[in-house]
């Protein structure tokens, strides 16, 4: 069986490694002409780490990032709401790791080159569409600087080409992005360790301004400072959707959070000292009625793009990759394997997408903000118990698939 993997991101590369483990041939077709370490931070939750550990990458990933010790939630006034241990420190067998997305991509990419061989990875192949019959699928690509048309034939094709997937669009012509007025800015800043230096911070709500902050590189400058990843979010009525990956204006972003100077963190300073800032819209898509069509299926963000809340997009893509690799190794008919994979994953991921919209991890802060009417309070226990907040946290873990089993 030959498999064309359209897209060489987290989903596509981990899928290639899973297929290789099971002795199944595949080729990866990536749109960019050269794979580089780009992007900002990413958090690998324990269920994501399990998938990567099973691919033999745990030690390398732990060395490349920072193991999170705790997660702490604050209001936009800088008032404490909730705190919990994370990863191994919370009783999981595997850690929760924050690292640079480019480093994760490089580790996956190098593993594919080493195990499958460079001849199995094709860069500069931008998918333009597909066709199929009962026996094979043909994927069309535009290749190289001159856009030469190339067609690749394989037994099946799996679209791992992200939120703007060409294959998804061909399957579902009416598909569109869902934008609810939330725009984001992402950056990395060199900064002294915050709290333990292994702390994942969430501050505020999207209506008033929200920040997610965590370290991704230790002692980045030889003077004890860390590379801190941060994401700023703001929801405005009738907001115009930010462009993708456009360089952002530090001052515009810092002005949103100009009053966020707390005893433990100066947020405007963190933003203004960023090495780089990029703008993104916060978007997802409604769940599809199907992912698989004959010999073609979707995976990762091409299948279920979700709000980047809860650090769960990469985990769901990694689980997709393993489940489909397992199905293809156990089924003689590829189309049946694709349908089985869809049956196991579509409903689960649809629920995660919906939960990320409505009851994400930062619902803990949203609840505190609702109860306090956005005003400062004496103590969080005057509003809601820690046990009630813990239940919110556990609900998300259960939906996302990484709750500790009792």
Question: Do 29 and 153 touch, CB atoms closer than 8 A?
Answer: no
Residue-wise burial string across 146-156, b where 16 or more C-beta atoms lie within 10 A, e elsewhere? eeeeeebebbb
This prediction's pTM: 0.95
Q: Average of pLDDT values for 211-237?
A: 96
Query: What number does CATH give the domain 2-37+104-177+288-358?
Result: 3.50.50.60
Q: Average of pLDDT values for 344-348?
A: 97
Q: Where are the domains of the chain?
A: 2-37+104-177+288-358
Reply yes or no on whether the pLDDT at 405 is more than 80: no
Model pLDDT for residues 280-298, shown as the tens digit of each residue: 899 999 999 999 999 999 9
Alpha-carbon distance values, 180 to 177, 207, 239, 285 (Å): 10, 11, 8, 11
The rounded mean pLDDT for the chain is 95
Q: Average of pLDDT values for 71-82?
A: 98
pLDDT recorded at residue 364 = 96
First to last CA, the chain: 41
pLDDT recorded at residue 171 = 97
Model pLDDT for residues 166-193, shown as the tens digit of each residue: 999 999 999 999 999 999 999 999 999 9
Q: Average of pLDDT values for 196-217?
A: 96
| Residue 135's pLDDT band (cuts 50, 70, 90) | very high
| Residue 387's pLDDT band (cuts 50, 70, 90) | very high
Phi then psi dihedrals of residue 92, to 5 deg? -75, 155
Residue-wise burial string across 59-77, b where 16 or more C-beta atoms lie within 10 A, e elsewhere? ebbbebbbbbbbbbbbbbb
């Amino acid at each position: 069986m030959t498999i064309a993997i359209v897209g060489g991101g987290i989903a596509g590369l981990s899928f290639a490694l899973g297929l290789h483990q099971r002795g199944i041939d595949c080729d990866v077709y990536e749109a960019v002409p050269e794979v580089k370490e780009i992007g900002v931070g990413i958090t690998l939750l324990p269920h994501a780490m399990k998938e990567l550990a099973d691919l033999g990458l745990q030690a390398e990933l732990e060395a490349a990032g920072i193991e999170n010790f705790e997660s702490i939630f604050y209001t936009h006034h800088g008032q404490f709401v909730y705190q919990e241990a994370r990863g191994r420190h919370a009783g999981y067998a595997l850690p929760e790791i924050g690292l640079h997305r480019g480093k994760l991509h490089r580790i996956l990419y190098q593993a594919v080159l080493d195990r499958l061989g460079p001849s199995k990875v094709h860069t500069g192949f931008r998918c333009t569409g597909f066709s199929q019959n009962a026996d094979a699928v043909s994927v069309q690509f535009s290749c190289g600087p001159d856009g030469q048309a190339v067609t690749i034939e394989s037994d099946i094709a799996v679209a791992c080409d992200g939120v703007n997937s060409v294959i998804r669009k061909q399957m579902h012509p009416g598909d569109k992005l869902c934008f609810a007025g939330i725009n984001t800015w992402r950056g990395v800043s060199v900064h002294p360790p915050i709290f333990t230096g292994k702390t994942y911070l969430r501050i505020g709500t999207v209506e008033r301004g929200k920040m997610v902050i965590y370290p991704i590189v230790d002692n980045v400058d030889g003077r004890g400072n860390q590379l801190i990843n941060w994401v700023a979010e703001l929801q405005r009525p009738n907001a115009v959707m930010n462009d993708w990956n456009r360089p952002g204006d530090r001052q515009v972003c810092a002005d949103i959070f100009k009053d966020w100077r707390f005893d433990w963190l100066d947020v405007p300073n963190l933003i203004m000292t960023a090495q780089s800032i990029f703008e993104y819209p916060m978007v997802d898509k409604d769940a599809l009625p199907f992912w698989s069509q004959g010999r073609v299926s979707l995976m990762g963000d091409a299948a279920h793009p979700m709000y980047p809340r809860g650090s769960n997009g990469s985990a769901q893509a990694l689980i997709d990759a393993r489940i489909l690799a397992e199905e293809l190794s156990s089924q003689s008919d590829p189309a049946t394997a694709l349908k089985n994979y869809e049956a196991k994953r579509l409903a689960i991921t649809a629920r995660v997408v919906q939960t990320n919209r409505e009851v994400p991890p930062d619902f803990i802060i949203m609840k505190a903000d609702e109860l306090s009417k956005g005003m400062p309070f004496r103590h969080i226990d005057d509003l809601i118990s820690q046990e009630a907040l813990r239940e919110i946290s556990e609900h998300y873990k259960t939906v996302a698939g990484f709750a500790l089993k009792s």
